[in-house]
Structures are given as structure tokens and as C-alpha cells.
Amino acid sequence: MNNGDVEAAWEYHQGTKHSPWSVRSNPHFLDWPNRPLPFKVYPKIEPRPLPQEVPQTGVAALSAISGRVRSSRADRVPDLEALARVLFFSAGITKEREYPGGHVYFRAAACTGALYEVELYLVSGDLRGLESGVYHFNPADVSLRLLRKGDFRGNLRVATAVEPAVAHAPATIISTGTYWRNAWKYQARTYRHFGWDNGTLVANLLAVSTASGLPSEIVLGFMDAEVNRLLDVDTRREVSLCLLPIGRSAESPLPTPKDAPALGLETIPLSQHEVEYPAMLQMHDASSLESEQEVTNWRESRPVLSSSAWAGETVRLQPLPEDEQPKDTIEQVILRRGSTRRFDKTASVTLEQLSTIFDCATQGLPADFLAPPGAQLNDLYLIVHSVEGLKPGAYFFQRVLGNLELLKEGQFRAEAYHLGLEQALSAEACVDIFFLTDLKRILERYGNRGYRAVQLEAGAIGGRIYLAAYAQHLGATGLTFFDDDVTKFFSPHAKDKSAIFLLAVGKPPKRKQR
């Protein structure tokens, strides 16, 4: 299959839509005794513990999320402490809870079903405190495990057809998705979750790197087989999702690629038995890049800018001026973040709070598929229930103009309840933010890999929304949705667009005084 044969992405997307009928008629149940392990464990490799008492950056979360941090450091080379900070605040365990189904280790970034199918690896040159190598990060014991000794950055330089950020990075983090860990619950829809859950993690990672004075960006242009081979993953189970170069060095010449033979390293099985979903393997294959030429073409694809047809009444967003914004640090906000489990239906947020969220979350995401800076693949639509300064109703976010365009006025809590898979959260929030995209134009421009990009971008902007809400002491949660009903609700404006992602923002109920 090839990236240009976009029937593959259409087929996958159509085949994994939720509708009231598909959800009610699905006989799938959670097989608790076969619940997958939430960690990848290499039992025969000694851990290399990461420092746990790492100094905080002290940078305000809202500045870190929006990338508005200017570093005066000439040195952009991370040391082990900086890497430990980035890894921990992206994928580390931030709290634990006991449930009837078992113990759950919650992580720094939100993840569908708390199943944490995204793993992180590190490909590094010699750094202060760390010798060069290919490592796996295990959040369970906050340690690295050395998979290959030596400097393999040259392999990534070749795999990305000399992507400048990768070619100059002292270290690159690679995220992978493990199908079964999420498919145990979500079946073939997991491939969408790869983008969402990797995206929320990436939002944290970019913010913490920025706060640490280390440039970083999302690289989706790489030859999949080369990177998978370097990490020695079994591609029927686990695949590379994106590269995240960290820092920048002037070092030259870069190391030449090295031989990366199969390692056959033992890992603990996730479950007694696993179920394979061929639709996901096909989607992944069809969106893989196989040659240098395909990678170069990917990088040169220009994004599809969203239309801003201006028909309805508009309201200008009014973000809080920077000196009036809450100053909690990025680390404090990540540790505080969770997914709000109940919203107070009687509460409201202000237009300034909502505007600040939008302003921070939609600042140009640094990604190889988004040029010029500021481009975006997803369009944002809102159902406003209770925002002071906005009439309740459905809106379209005119990103370039910074306006909300009123599409229809009214109280749509019942509709929001339905669209969010009949969960109370979408009805009781103050505002629901839907991500939709013109998938046809995206796939024409980028091929099947555009599907990966659009899901990942949604997750990353969604992750920023989570952080920007919690930075202002609000609540937020990702939600899933009935695909075609979302499009119908926002039509005619959203006609021909596909629903990609949903996030609700509001206030949790006040705790009763005892």
C-alpha cells in the first residue's frame, strides 16, 4: 500500500465511526483478567535511574504552553536532569488510585481509558550525565534502559532525510504506540487514540522543553521502518508515532549511521493473549513512508488553511493580558491536572478565561507538517452553555481573525449530551470544543499520513487546552463523540468536514465544607 492511495484512510475513518447504532450493537466487553500491563518492561536490562530531585523551571504554565518563553541561554544542550524533567512531566506517574478493576497509575498527560499505550524512547549523543545510546523510558521506576550503546543519531538523520531539527539535536525522543494496550478497550478505534494520546503527551513535552530553554518540535516525516528497526519494536504490536528532537547543537559533522541489527530483547507479555485488529495495521502500513523521496515530499506539503467565511455575528476573543494571567508554573499545573469527572452545571467561565485558553492553545504548533508557522489542520467549533459575555449557542472559531462566529443561538445542553456519547460531562460543562477537519483536502495534500497528522495535531491542541484550563483553576476533559451527528449539528457550516476530537471545559462542583 502507498501513502498516496488515500482510500485506506477513508476506509479506516469510516469503519471506526461511532454512531448510536454502532455503540449499542457492539458486543465488546472488558475482559478484566486479560487487562494489559500499563508498562513495557525489559526484565533483563538493568535500570539506569533518572534523577528525581530536578529543579523546577519556574516558568508560568500559560507562557510555556504558548511557546512565549525567550531563553537567553546560548547552550541548548540538555543534560540528564533536563531530560529527566521532560520525560517525567510528559509521561511520568503523577498519582495512583485503587479501583474495583485494579490499581491505576495516572500519568502527567491525559490518555483515553488511562491505558497509556504511548511509550517513550531516547536516542542521544554523549550528554552531561548520560552516555550516548538508544534508551527506553520506564515511568514505573523513573529510569532509562539502554537498548543500544553508542551514538545512533545519524540513523535518525538519514531516516528523516536530514530534517534540520533532528540533524542538530543533541537528543531525540521517539514516541511509539502499542496497539493492544489501548485496543483491549477501544478495539480498532485505537489508531485514532494513538494521535490523541500521543498529542496530549506531546503538548506537555513541548511546554516543558520550552520552559527548560530547549527548542523542540514534532517530526512526522520519517521512514517508519528505519526508526522501528532502531528501536527494535515488533511492528505488529508497537509502532513509532513521532520524533521529538530536544535542544540544538552546532556539532558537526554528525555521526554516520550505524548498523542496527535486531536485538530480540525480552519484554514481559502485556496480557495472557492479545487480539489483533487488522484495520489498524493496514492504516499504519498505508500511512508509512518508505523512501527518502517520500519523506522530502511530506516535508514540502503545504497545509490546507482553514476557510474563514464570515457570515454570522462575531465576538472578538479577549485574552487576559500577560501580566494579569495566573502564574502557576508548568510543573505545578501538570501535577494538578486531571480529567474533571463532574462539572457544575450552574457555574460559568468568563470570556477572558475562554479567550486565554484559545490564545495559548492555538499558537502555532511547532511541527514539520505545519508551515508557515501558525497553520492548523483542525477547525474548532464550540457549543457554549455558560460563558459570561457570550450568548449560549454554536460557534466557529475564526482562528486567523481571533473571533468567534455565532452559527446558531440557543441552549444546546441536550444536544451536547447526545454528541458526547450521551455522557453528562458534555452537557454540564461550560463549553464543549469540537475539532473538525476537511479530511478530503488533508488527504489530497498529505496522503494517508495526513490522517496521522490531523489526529496528532488535535491531541496536541487538546493537551494544551487541558493545561491552559488547569492553569486558570478550571476543569477539562477529553470526550469521545458520535462522528456524523457532530458534523450534522454544525452544518451547513461544517458540511463535508469530519469530526476528529472533543474536549469539554468547565468548573468542577465546589467541595462541601465539613
Ligand X SMILES: Cc1cc2nc3c(=O)[nH]c(=O)nc-3n(C[C@H](O)[C@H](O)[C@H](O)COP(=O)(O)O)c2cc1C
Separation in Å, CA 461 to CA 54, 59, 71, 103, 467: 27, 20, 23, 29, 10
With respect to ligand X, which residue has the nearer C-beta, 85 or 193?
193
With respect to ligand X, which residue has the nearer C-beta, 178 or 267?
178
Say which residues have a Cβ less than 8 Å from residue 288's Cβ, sequence separation at least 6: 3, 224, 225, 449
Q: Which three cell numbers stand for residue 324?
A: 494579569
Specify the DSSP element, H or E, that contains 202: helix 190-211
Query: For ligand X, which stretch binds (CB under 6 A), given 208-216, 298-306, 447-455, 476-484?
Result: 476-484
Q: Kindly report the CA angle at 29 between 27 and 35, in degrees rounded to 5?
A: 150
Residue 339 interacting with ligand X (CB under 6 A): yes
* Residue among 183, 187, 38, 210 nearest 107 (CA): 38
Q: Which of residues 382-421 bind ligand X (CB under 6 A)?
A: 421
With respect to ligand X, which residue has the nearer C-beta, 150 or 509?
509
Residue 508 interacting with ligand X (CB under 6 A): no
With respect to ligand X, which residue has the nearer C-beta, 341 or 495?
341
# residues contacting ligand X (CB under 6 A):
16
CA atoms within 13 A on the CB side of 32: 5
From 2, 296, 363, 423, residue interacting with ligand X (rule: CB under 6 A): 423
With respect to ligand X, which residue has the nearer C-beta, 42 or 106?
106
φ and ψ at 499, to 5 degrees? -80, 135
With respect to ligand X, which residue has the nearer C-beta, 232 or 432?
432
With respect to ligand X, which residue has the nearer C-beta, 196 or 277?
196
CA 503 – CA 501 distance, rounded (Å): 7
- DSSP secondary structure of 424-476: HHHHHSSEEEEEEE-HHHHHHHHTTHHHHHHHHHHHHHHHHHHHHHHHTT-EE
Binding mask 101-120 for ligand X (x = CB under 6 A): -----x---xxxxx------
Q: Which three cell numbers stand for residue 492?
A: 451547513
Binding mask 208-227 for ligand X (x = CB under 6 A): --------------------
Separation in Å, CA 360 to CA 65, 338, 366, 464: 6, 19, 13, 7
From 477, 482, 499, 507, residue interacting with ligand X (rule: CB under 6 A): 477
Q: Which three cell numbers stand for residue 95?
A: 498519582
Q: Which of residues 178-197 bind ligand X (CB under 6 A)?
A: 196
Residue 127 interacting with ligand X (CB under 6 A): no
With respect to ligand X, which residue has the nearer C-beta, 96 or 300?
96
Query: For ligand X, which stretch binds (CB under 6 A), given 156-164, 274-282, 296-304, 474-482?
Result: 474-482
Query: For ligand X, which stretch binds (CB under 6 A), given 166-174, 244-252, 373-381, 471-479?
Result: 471-479
With respect to ligand X, which residue has the nearer C-beta, 317 or 460?
460
Q: Name the region of 410 (left: φ>0; alpha: ψ -120 to 50; beta: rest).
A: left
Determine the straight-line distance between the first and last CA of the chain, rounded to whole angstroms.
62
CB of 296 to ligand X, least distance (A): 32
With respect to ligand X, which residue has the nearer C-beta, 135 or 481?
481
Give the number of other Cβ atoms within 10 Å of residue 473's Cβ.
13
CA 308 – CA 120 distance, rounded (Å): 37
The residue nearest ligand X at its CB is 478
CB of 270 to ligand X, least distance (A): 18
Residue 479 interacting with ligand X (CB under 6 A): yes
CB of 14 to ligand X, least distance (A): 20
List the beta bridge partners of residue 398. Answer: 403
Asked if 479 contacts 313 with a C-beta cutoff of 8 angstroms, the reply is no
Q: Which three cell numbers stand for residue 387?
A: 460563558
CB of 104 to ligand X, least distance (A): 8
Query: For ligand X, which stretch binds (CB under 6 A), given 68-76, 211-219, 392-400, 475-483?
Result: 475-483
* Residue among 128, 131, 161 nearest 257 (CA): 161
Residue 200 interacting with ligand X (CB under 6 A): yes
Residue 480 interacting with ligand X (CB under 6 A): yes
Peptide bond into 372 cis (omega under 30): yes
For residue 200, the 8-state DSSP code is: H
CB of 455 to ligand X, least distance (A): 10
With respect to ligand X, which residue has the nearer C-beta, 260 or 467?
467
CB of 112 to ligand X, least distance (A): 5
Residues binding ligand X (CB under 6 A)? 106, 110-114, 196, 200, 338-339, 421, 423, 477-480
